[in-house]
Amino acid sequence: MQQSAKQIYKRLLKYTFDYKLVAILSIVGMLGYAAMDALFIKLMQPFIDEGLTQRNTEVLTWAPLIVIVLVLGRGIFNYMASYCLSYVGSQVVRKLRQQLFEHMLFLPVSFHDQHSNGDMISKITFDTEQVQQAITRALQVMIREGAFVVFLLVVMFDASWQLSSIFLVIIPVVALIVNVVSKRFRKISKNIQDAMGEVTRGSEQMLAGHKVIHGFEGQDKEIGRFAQVNNHNRQQRVKMDATRALSVSVIQILAASAMALILAIIAMPSMIDTITSGTFVALLSSMMMMLRPLKQLANVNGELQRGIAAAQSIFEILDTPQEKDTGTLELPFCAGEIEVKSVTFCYPTKQEPVIRDLSLHIKPGERVALVGRSGSGKSTLSNLLPRFYDIEMGKILLDGKPIQDYKLKELRRQFSVVSQQVVLFNDTIANNISYGLDVPLTEQQLIEVAKQAHVWEFVESLPEGLNTLVGENGVMLSGGQRQRIAIARAIVKNAPILILDEATSALDTESERLIQDALDSLMADKTSIVIAHRLSTIEKSDRIYVLEQGQIVEQGTHQQLLASEGIYAALCKMQHGA
């Protein structure tokens, strides 16, 4: 259900409750600051009437001292308000950003499939900054300048309630203008966030794919695409500024009109003798001083609505249900028996099923291979086993029990996945190998694992050895080297079920032979599922399943499938050039 601006802002302000004392101090500071300014104008009346008009030297003697006290008080209250509000605002943004980061980590894979990384990064960076503006700058102006307007009205009514009541006429009109403008601000703010998401997405795409862009001479295309997105962002910001300028001008014209009317009334012969010089100065000063806070209050509405739109965008993510983890069973170490029973699966973004009524049985310690054309459902099956996606039709059993019955952490602990797309973190080789371990490996253990996965062959010649930084997503390493680190990570995890999804695809023939030896020793006492296009790597498998359009069309050993002269035999002949 769509929340109103008021509900969103109330929810946002709840984040300040953990810092109540500091927030109260900031409010006291803001009210004190406004009171000092209003008091200065209030005291102008006795200074002029008693000090100057009546020549009272005692009042004039006190005037400099009072001015110094008011200026000092103003400075202290300003510092208190600014520091405390900045502290609260930064804490709220830190908390929101942390919550957003943590929540995104636990969202299902299907959510990330439907949302670009650029949009999500924009929410963590840009949207949270907009929220800080709504809490700090907007709140400061609303409380401080709002209080100043109220205090000035008190000064005016104290000086002459009859004349000051004219100002009350414009208040409903100002409220109506603010209400209309707020809706437009919020709509434009949402457009600005979407535009910033597009800017981030375009930038991220350019940086990630710069080699492809250079290779295919796509610079002009990318420049044109980014220019369009960038210009759209500019247009939205101009609309925001134009709306803000118009609303400020209208409000100031209304206030000036009220002021002009009051001055016209004062100029009447019947009124001029009833008002003192001090009262006149206090009224005029209050009206003049009121123009600035009215302008700021009108201006801040844009920042406030931008912050509310950003908060709405953040809360939409925070309200997205996390990955379902309804399992209750513990699973320290499984035997590795897998049964897939009549499973049909369709990705949330697609209409056609990728897997159709698929059934297979893998015994503990068995080495199974999945082969078939691209899009036949091999990798999808490897994603269903650790529950990266949930199935709606059919069952997947692990050690005789549905995988949904196990706790997610316990289930995923049973799988080591080495895929074609190796993900490395911008950290050292050592930390990438031992990623996810509660207790880090000793240097000697790391070296043994590195030798087993043939990582040591290229690491020992590096100046920093295992402490070498791999760069963003392993950019400093070759594809084969990244693949070996991924295999070393799987060796360290030592899970009972091993899934190799094109694990040797990025290796040359010599490296593949070395890695195959490492994988053979790794698979020795494990249930292994190997997905491969290179059929030479799966000849030793206990059983080979051939998939076509999400269904098993052939199964058997390498020799049995060759003898049947079906799809597998044809694939083998094709790869051997026959």
- Decide if pLDDT at 29 tops 90: yes
pLDDT at position 403, please?
A: 92
Q: Are 205 and 223 in contact (CB under 8 A)?
A: no
pLDDT digits (tens, 9 = 90+) for 150-200: 888 888 777 777 766 776 776 677 767 767 776 777 677 778 777 777 887
Largest CA distance in the chain: 121
CATH pick for 5-318 out of 3.40.50.300, 2.30.40.10, 1.20.1560.10, 3.40.50.720 = 1.20.1560.10
pLDDT at position 468, please?
A: 85
156 Cβ partners below 8 Å, 6+ apart?
163, 164, 167, 282, 283, 286, 287
Distance (Å, rounded) from C-alpha 42 to C-alpha 469?
66
Distance (Å, rounded) from C-alpha 52 to C-alpha 507?
94
Query: In the predicted model, what is the mean pLDDT of residues 325-340?
Result: 88
- Helix, strand or coil for residue 192? helix
Q: End-to-end CA distance of the chain, in Å?
A: 62
CATH pick for 338-575 out of 3.40.50.300, 1.10.10.60, 3.30.300.30, 1.20.1640.10 = 3.40.50.300
pLDDT at position 274, please?
A: 66
Distance (Å, rounded) from C-alpha 89 to C-alpha 436?
33
E runs forming strands in 373-472: 393-398, 401-402, 415-419
Q: Are 437 and 471 in contact (CB under 8 A)?
A: no
Distance (Å, rounded) from C-alpha 431 to C-alpha 440?
9
Measured between alpha carbons, how far is residue 467 from residues 224, 275, 289, 476, 481 in Å? 42, 83, 64, 13, 15
Closest of 90, 97, 102, 104 to residue 22, by C-alpha: 90
Distance (Å, rounded) from C-alpha 443 to C-alpha 459?
13
To 10 degrees, what angle do helices 277-318 and 5-13 make?
90
**Percent of the residues in the chain that have a pLDDT greater than 70, as a whole number:** 90
pLDDT confidence tier of residue 422, bands split at 50, 70 and 90: confident
pLDDT at position 54, please?
A: 66
DSSP calls for 52-90: IIS--HHHHHHHHHHHHHHHHHHHHHHHHHHHHHHHHHH
Q: Are 252 and 295 in contact (CB under 8 A)?
A: yes
| Range name among 232-241, 413-422, 446-455, 506-515 with the lowest pLDDT average | 506-515
pLDDT confidence tier of residue 500, bands split at 50, 70 and 90: confident
pLDDT at position 506, please?
A: 57
Whole-prediction pTM? 0.74
Query: In the predicted model, what is the mean pLDDT of residues 205-233?
Result: 79
Domain spans, the chain? 5-318, 338-575
- Decide if pLDDT at 72 tops 90: yes
Strand pairing category for 338-345 and 415-419: unpaired
pLDDT at position 114, please?
A: 83
Query: In the predicted model, what is the mean pLDDT of residues 216-238?
Result: 83
Instruction: Name the amino acid, one letter, at 27.
Output: I
Distance (Å, rounded) from C-alpha 237 to C-alpha 185?
10
Q: For the CA atoms of the chain, what is the radius of gyration?
A: 35
- Decide if pLDDT at 32 tops 90: yes
5-318 and 338-575 agree in CATH topology: no
b/e code 425-439 from CB counts within 10 Å (16+ = b): eeebbbbbbbeeeee
Lay out the sheet containing 393-398: strands in order across: 355-362, 338-345, 393-398, 401-402
pLDDT at position 146, please?
A: 85
| Range name among 275-279, 467-471, 495-499 with the lowest pLDDT average | 275-279
Q: Are 417 and 382 in contact (CB under 8 A)?
A: yes
